[in-house]
């Protein structure tokens, strides 16, 4: 189905144009007109692919999540057949931080999306679903690591998952150059060491 493929390809090109607008100019400039300009197509052509700004945003956010998953999967391949759950979690968390160009684009997209979600029910539902699914994957990892003896059995999987996800809270500190990328990685490694040994590595 070459036509189908083309359609998908064009939508992805538009999504990338939308990311560039978010990354380089900010969410306040995110209108269909600006995205059409950035993608080098007319507003009418853009409207052929996306009926509304929300539909366009939805697709761009889904595509950003797919790209993050793809980067994590590629990283996992390098970890071999049976990667340690600590390495899987580290890779996942690091790919969610704005530490390289692609991750920065998806991270900014995702921050803009959460703000947008507060004022649009459709976006809220989609953003919530995405976050619930991502959270469930992390919780599953934590539960397996507990079952396999990598994490102490008295740890509560739900709360540990919530605490792991808060590590994305390093984002504003990195974006505003308050801490260095290396500081962020040091914090994540220290946190994971404690989680996986049940105590402070230095203790």
Instruction: Report the interface residues with its own copies, using CB under 8 A.
Output: 23-28, 30, 108, 111-112, 114-119, 124, 127-128, 131-132, 135, 152, 154-156, 158-159, 162-163, 165-173, 175-179, 183-184, 186-187, 190-191, 194, 198-200, 202-203
176 by Cβ neighbours in 10 Å (0-12 / 13-18 / 19+) ranks as: exposed
CB of 196 to its own copies, least distance (A): 12
DSSP state of 51: S
CB of 176 to its own copies, least distance (A): 4
When the beta carbons of 39 and 112 are compared against its own copies, the nearer one is: 112
CB of 168 to its own copies, least distance (A): 5
CB of 162 to its own copies, least distance (A): 5
C-alpha to C-alpha distances, 115 to 27, 109, 182, nearest whole angstrom: 9, 10, 28
**How many residues would you count in the chain?**
203
C-beta of residue 107 within 8 angstroms of C-beta of residue 98: yes
């Amino acid at each position: 189905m070459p036509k189908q493929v083309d359609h998908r390809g064009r939508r992805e090109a538009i999504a990338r144009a939308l990311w560039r607008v978010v990354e380089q100019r900010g969410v306040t400039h995110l209108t269909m007109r600006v995205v059409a300009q950035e993608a080098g197509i007319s507003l009418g052509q853009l409207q052929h692919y996306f009926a509304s700004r929300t539909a366009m945003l939805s697709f761009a956010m889904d595509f950003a999540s797919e790209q993050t998953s793809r980067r994590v999967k590629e990283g996992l391949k390098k970890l071999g057949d049976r990667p340690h759950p600590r390495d899987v979690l580290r890779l996942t968390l690091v790919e969610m931080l704005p530490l390289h160009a692609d991750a920065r684009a998806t991270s900014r997209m995702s921050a803009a999306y959460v703000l947008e979600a507060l004022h649009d029910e459709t976006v809220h539902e989609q953003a919530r679903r995405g976050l619930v699914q991502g959270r469930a994957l992390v919780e599953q990892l934590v539960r397996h690591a507990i079952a396999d003896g990598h994490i102490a059995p008295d740890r509560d999987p739900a709360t540990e998952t919530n605490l792991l996800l808060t590590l994305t809270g390093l984002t504003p500190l990195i974006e505003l150059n308050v801490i260095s990328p290396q500081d962020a990685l040091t914090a994540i490694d220290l946190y994971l060491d404690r989680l996986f040994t049940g105590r402070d590595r230095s203790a």
